Amino acid sequence: MSEAPPLALVTGGHRRLGARIAMRLARAGYALAVHGRHDAEPHPFLADVLAETGVPWAGFVADFLEPGAVQDLLPAVIAHFGRAPDLLVNSASLFGHDRLDTVTEADLAQHFAVNASAPALLTQAFAAAERTPGAQAAIVNLLDQRLVQPHSDQLAYTMSKYALEGFTRIAARTLAPHVRVNAVAPGLTLITEDYAEAQVDRLAAAMPLKALPGTDDIAEAVLYLAQADAVTGQTIFVDGGAHMRSFARDFMYLEG
């Protein structure tokens, strides 16, 4: 009887960066629980890889702003697969455009609910789940390179990511040796329509490595931490070196 593949729960894993992470895990042989806020239909590029690899997978919908949704997610995954995940990737994120003079109580509450509270509650349930004696599980949280040298844009988002950064270190100490907890801090990776092509080129040239990271770079870092049995409490910056420079504002407001 063949051994079951490792199982990963990737929040926000049906699209954007989360889907790229899920895609890399599928290629590495992980079965996947793919989470989405309103739907869990995989983006076409992820759907193609799931079909190509043939790994077991299922989609799960949970709006982390709805009461009880976070607490219901892991039991639903366990009920479907008949076992607890070996890997939790907290990739789901809320990203607003508030600043100190515009941020509201609702902005702060919603960002902390999705970006900090949900990962903490999922970590609580993940750590308490039954596993084979001696099995080591892993958690990877998605942070942001801006935490080293913060600016004033996206205040609620930034504050909530600081909370997740601190929680990463607390959980790593609390859950060792049975659960490893690490983080990846991406830089500007997914280029949206807010950026002009020439602006992106100038921003890439402004990075210490003269290049922006790609989604594959982020996904590879997540996979490394998922399998690095001697690593816990660490954050890997995958940002072209951006954390070593101070930027006055968010990248979308800079010309390079």
Indicate if the pLDDT at residue 2 is higher than 90. Answer: no
Residue labelled with tokens 């349930």: 125
**Which domains are seen in the chain, by residue range?**
7-192+213-245 (3.40.50.720)
Q: Which residues contact 69 (CB under 8 A, 6 or more apart)?
A: 62, 63
The structure's pTM equals 0.95
Here the tokens at position 197 are 């092509």
For residue 146, what are the CA distances in angstroms to 17, 188, 230, 239? 17, 10, 27, 10
Q: What is the pLDDT of residue 150?
A: 94
Indicate if the pLDDT at residue 1 is higher than 50. Answer: no
% of the chain exceeding 90 in pLDDT: 84
Band (198; pLDDT cuts 50, 70, 90): confident
Indicate if the pLDDT at residue 193 is higher than 80. Answer: no
Indicate if the pLDDT at residue 89 is higher than 80. Answer: yes
Q: What is the pLDDT of residue 108?
A: 98
Rg (CA), the chain: 18
Q: What is the pLDDT of residue 248?
A: 83
Please name which of 135, 133, 136, 154 lies closest in space to residue 144, comparing C-alpha atoms.
154
Taking residues 173-187, report their average pLDDT: 97
Q: What is the pLDDT of residue 136?
A: 83
Biggest distance spanned by C-alpha atoms of the chain = 61
Please name which of 78, 74, 170 lies closest in space to residue 116, comparing C-alpha atoms.
170
Please name which of 22, 40, 39, 41 lies closest in space to residue 31, comparing C-alpha atoms.
22
CA distance 222 to 234: 12
pLDDT, one tens digit per residue, over 104-163 is 999 999 999 999 999 999 999 999 999 988 788 999 999 999 999 999 999 999 999 999
Please name which of 156, 152, 146 lies closest in space to residue 116, comparing C-alpha atoms.
156
Average pLDDT, the chain: 94
Indicate if the pLDDT at residue 255 is higher than 70. Answer: no
Under 8 Å between Cβ of 116 and 143: no
